[in-house]
Amino acid sequence: MPQTVATAKPPHTLAALCRGEPTALLAQFAKPARALLLYAIIITFGAGIYGATIGLWRAPQQAVFTAIKFPLLIALTTTANALLNGILAQGLGLRIGFRQSFLAITASFAIASLILASLSPVTLFLLANTPPLGTGSVHLSHSFMLLAHVALIALAGTIGNLALYRLLLAQAADRATARRVLLAWLIGNVFLGCQLSWIMRPFIGAPQLPVEFFRAEAFQGNFYESVFRSLQNVL
């Protein structure tokens, strides 16, 4: 008696995204509008929830501002680098189109946003155990919270890029090509993302400055100088 072979349904995009399954994610790229919509929703809410915990140290109003700006930062970084990343991928030997490269990077940011949302209780715990505004150690608290958020965001970004690397391995001819493309994408996204975060500041909010959506001197200084000064304060 012939056996009936059931056709396996492709896994849901969210489940595939949480597990970082390259084959399932590539299958979902066949419906780019649906996948991109889900990624946008995840980034908006995941990064928004975490962003609120960043700004809450300064004030509830700053928490609202940062919940809006943090997902916007990710969207601007991904979109602004879309053309460059597509050119880099093809130039480094990865035969994918601009749409696939954009979806792959957006998927990695969506994974990072999920990780950040899950880390929100950790940041709230740190916030509850950090001296509040009005105490003598407010500058030390600010530097500590800033460095803690940089470390947690770097952790989430690393996990997202590991998933992106697995996705590139499924499309590349060899590991060397996947590594080259990932490194090129990472350099461009980190450089642009960090500088955009400086221009769009404040996120955590400085204790001696008022709560604002954007600083009037947005284009003065840079992100790396700020992190170095915070590290000096902590040490």
pLDDT by residue (tens digit) across 132-162? 766 667 778 888 888 899 899 999 999 999 9
Model confidence at 210, pLDDT cuts 50, 70, 90, reads confident
Model confidence at 9, pLDDT cuts 50, 70, 90, reads very low
- pLDDT at 6 (0 to 100): 39
- Is pLDDT of 67 > 90? yes
- Is pLDDT of 4 > 80? no
Average pLDDT, the chain: 86
pLDDT, mean of residues 187-193: 89
For the chain, give every domain's residue range.
19-234
pTM to 2 decimal places: 0.85
| 40/110 Cα distance (integer angstroms) | 8
More confident site: 28 or 189: 189
pLDDT, mean of residues 161-177: 91
**DSSP per position, the chain:** -PPPPPPPPPPPHHHHHHHT-HHHHHHHTTSHHHHHHHHHHHHHHHHHHHHHHHHTTT-HHHHHHHHHHHHHHHHHHHHHTHHHHHHHHHHTT----HHHHHHHHHHHHHHHHHHHHHHHHHHHHHHHTS--TTSTTHHHHHHHHHHHHHHHHHHHHHHHHHHHHHHHHHHSSSHHHHHHHHHHHHHHHHHHHHHHHHHT--SS--TTS---SS-TTTTSS-HHHHHHHHHHHH-
pLDDT by residue (tens digit) across 75-110? 999 999 988 899 999 899 888 888 889 999 999 999
- pLDDT at 183 (0 to 100): 94
Model confidence at 230, pLDDT cuts 50, 70, 90, reads confident
For residues 111 and 160, the answer to whether their CB atoms sit within 8 Å is yes
